[in-house]
Structure 1
Amino acid sequence: MRRVDPPSSPSSGSSSGGGGVKTAVEEIPVVVVGRRGCCMSHVVKLLLQGLGVSPVVWEVAGEAEETALRAEIGKMGPADDKGGRGCPVTLPAVFIGGRLVGGVDHLMTAHISGQLVPNLKQAGALWL
């Protein structure tokens, strides 16, 4: 498991700029964005590690960082029913294969339904 300290301005993660959560999500098979010391982030990490995945963990320490990252992640999320972005973002936020899976609830749902392992394989995070 690798830990990533976010840059001072998380919104710098545009596709043309360097750094940022968007760039990490595009380049790394599994990324978990969560609050430093959050028990739910720990649960997500343990579940993924138990499946043999080594996620990159992006830990957020301050409220300003968290607000900026939530805004950036909201723009990357799935379109809402009106065709727009900006869906509410929960932390930890889990990305698999460049796609926002969601929070702990969505990750657990995918795991219980048997969709998580195939998604991890498709993203290149699992080989077996």
Structure 2
Amino acid sequence: MQEALPYKRWDAPPPVPAAASPPTTTAFGSPTVVESLIKGNPVIVIGKRGCFMCHVVRKLLLGLGVNPPIFEIDGDDDLSKGMLVNALISNENKIGEISSSNNNNNKNKDSSYEGKLQFPLVFVGGKLFGGLDKVMATHLSGELVPILKQAGALWL
């Protein structure tokens, strides 16, 4: 007979105070760590915790044969969102593609994109590819598989 296992939630460990950590370590939200994660994976998805659109993107990519790492950000965590925005802007990605209401080019990128990020963010080949709408549009047009092959996410 099979035994039912109790549900256990696997949360991240509690944050360590800054005084206790050595000065050479970096937090997950720091721009250098985010950039290294983006550049180290052919496809990566960054989304809010519990976001259904992140689940849809993951299922679509899994159906194509890509198993992307999913990194979730708490919805209330403005600090990690701000660090993510700074990492994206310093990486010179085209962040305007995922902004639904910003079609003009503003000079002050830090303030114009701060509240307009829409998750999930999909990075392909180390560059910002877009959100759910861009992934779905390229999949329906048949362009997504060649892009994933070029990035090294698909082998066949």
Structure-2-length-normalised TM-score: 0.64
Letter in 2 for 1:37: G
Cα displacement (A) at 1:74: 3.9
SS at match of 1:10: coil
Matching residue of 2:57: 44
SS at match of 2:122: strand
Q: What is the aligned-residue RMSD (CA, Å)?
A: 2.5
8 Å CA contact 1:33, 1:57 repeated in 2: yes
Deviation per residue, 1:85-121 (Å, 9 max, x gap) = 9465321100011111111111111111111100100
Matching residue of 1:78: 94
1:98 aligns with 2:126: yes
Aligned to 2:135, which of 107, 110, 113? 107
8 Å CA contact 1:48, 1:55 repeated in 2: yes
8 Å CA contact 1:10, 1:69 repeated in 2: yes
SS at match of 1:90: coil
Matching residue of 2:39: 26
Q: Deviating runs (4+, > 6 A) in structure 1? A: none
Identity %: 40
Q: d(CA) in 2 for partners of 1:79 and 1:45?
A: 21
Cα displacement (A) at 1:21: 1.6
Unaligned runs of 5+ in 2: 1-11, 13-25, 97-103
Mark the CA change 1:125 to 1:37 in structure 2 (over 3 Å): closer, same or farther: same
8 Å CA contact 2:38, 2:126 repeated in 1: yes
More strand by share: 1
Structure-1-length-normalised TM-score: 0.77
8 Å CA contact 2:95, 2:128 repeated in 1: no
Rg: which structure is higher? Answer: 2
